[in-house]
Amino acid sequence: MRNIFQHIQGDKAIWAVVALLALFSFLPVYSASSNLAYLYGDGSTLPFLLKHFAHLLLGFAILYGIHKIPYHYFRGLSIIALPVIVVLLLITIAEGTTIEGANASRWIRVPFVGVTFQTSTLAAVVLMTYVARYLSRIKDKQITFKETLLPLWVPVFLVLALIFPANFSTTAIIFAMVVVLVFVGGYPLKYLGIILGVGLLFLTLFVLAAKAFPDVFPNRVDTWISRVESFSDNEDTEADYQIEKAKIAIASGGVTGLGPGKSVQKNFLPQSSSDFIYAIIVEEFGMLGAFFLLFLYLLLLFRLVIVAYKSDSMFGKLLVIGVGLPIVFQALINMAVAVELFPVTGQTLPLISSGGTSIWMTCLALGMILSVSAKRVAAPKEDKEQNPLDILSEAL
């Protein structure tokens, strides 16, 4: 056991939080998968549990491998990965597939493996790393909007534009996190106001174009509008049905819950093992389980702030904020949706919900954070830009 811990570097509290979240996830996933077992299987939940275990196992392998890489390598790798992400997003738009009846093509199927992959989650990590890299390069320079337009904002809006048609909520979260990151990175507020205005203008034009030409983006704008209207006006929609079932599950849980595996609403609540798994957790483990889970995410946020504060390089600070804050933000949104504080978004609960892509990309981001916390002694060398080809040659 001691030999194992010797190979684990970085912030031990983050390792502990990640391990607790992963271990805890088996109980609600195993319980909530019962409805999927009867819909898509032979009634046994064991295959879904084994699948979740395989996803976590690969996720922790990614986490361990990434945290061993000196984090300054991610600067150059983000330049290489960004055009790859653009190509993957274009393939997703052209040939994307649907999962469990989803009305948008957000996944691509990996050839010869049969595994589906949601490209937008990888795009978020790569884009945030790229933005952190750029901001660290201009930290001591006089910033003008014209000079930052092409190297910073064109890649950001290109990636967001490719994600936007099929996944509005993910686009909104990424855009919000980019805005937070550039604000922390010292980007002038007057230029940031221009970017916010451009983003609002783009959203307005897209909605008007989608309304005028509904065959181009079928059902997407109507889905967004109906979710917001059902949230504000309590209309009888599918999203409202999901929220009502989630509220019943939460009310049934009380303080201590019904007990592991004793949820009733898992048989009626769509996406009970992914988007609405927090409601099942509250039903089975009560408010005690709900607050314990919230505490773990807030503890993760606290440790992210500590790691960012102690990092000796600007890129390290911005990288931790850029890839770490979205994890906590997504968790809070998922919880807020379950208790009807936020419209239905389709965002999963990081490291808890079933789904391979979400787990793998969360572990990728956490591995980068742990790399920052483990490699602080090498920070003085890390503000120097590396050639991406040099990185590949070192890796080989």
Q: What is the mean pLDDT of residues 101-126?
A: 74
Q: pLDDT grade, residue 116 (50/70/90)?
A: confident
pLDDT score at 158: 94
Q: Please, is 261 exposed, middle or buried when counting C-beta atoms within 10 Å of its C-beta (0-12, 13-18, 19+)?
A: middle
pLDDT score at 341: 85
Q: What is the mean pLDDT of residues 97-118?
A: 64
Question: Among 21-25, 43-47, 174-178, 302-306, which stretch is predicted with the lowest mean pLDDT?
Answer: 43-47
Is the pLDDT at 65 greater than 50, yes or no? yes
pTM of this prediction? 0.87
Question: Among 133-137, 177-181, 250-254, 378-382, which stretch is predicted with the lowest mean pLDDT?
Answer: 378-382
Question: Among 87-91, 104-108, 114-118, which stretch is predicted with the lowest mean pLDDT?
Answer: 104-108
Q: Please, is 387 exposed, middle or buried when counting C-beta atoms within 10 Å of its C-beta (0-12, 13-18, 19+)?
A: exposed
What type of residue is 325? L
pLDDT score at 233: 60
User: What is the distance between the alpha carbons of residues 264 and 245, in angstroms, rounded to a whole number?
Assistant: 10
pLDDT score at 351: 92
Check residues 349 and 270 and name the one with the higher pLDDT: 349
Q: What is the mean pLDDT of residues 268-277?
A: 82
Q: Which two tokens stand for residue 378?
A: 């090498």
CA dist 278 → 125, 239, 247 (Å): 24, 16, 11
CA dist 313 → 25, 76, 135, 291, 320 (Å): 35, 16, 12, 35, 11
pLDDT tens per residue, range 130-159? 999 999 998 888 888 889 999 999 999 999
Q: pLDDT grade, residue 219 (50/70/90)?
A: low
pLDDT score at 101: 47
Using an 8 Å Cβ cutoff, are 366 and 300 in contact? no
Q: What is the mean pLDDT of residues 40-57?
A: 82
Is the pLDDT at 269 greater than 90, yes or no? no
pLDDT score at 377: 40
Backbone angles phi, psi at 86, to 5 degrees: -60, -45
> What average pLDDT does the chain have?
83
Q: What is the mean pLDDT of residues 104-129?
A: 80
Using an 8 Å Cβ cutoff, are 261 and 31 in contact? yes
Straight-line distance from the first to the last Cα atom of the chain, in angstroms, rounded to the nearest whole number: 31
Domain boundaries, the chain: 10-395
Q: Which two tokens stand for residue 9?
A: 């570097």
Q: Which two tokens stand for residue 153?
A: 């904002």
Is the pLDDT at 382 greater than 50, yes or no? no
User: What is the distance between the alpha carbons of residues 12 and 9, in angstroms, rounded to a whole number?
Assistant: 8
Question: Among 14-28, 153-167, 256-270, 284-298, which stretch is predicted with the lowest mean pLDDT?
Answer: 256-270
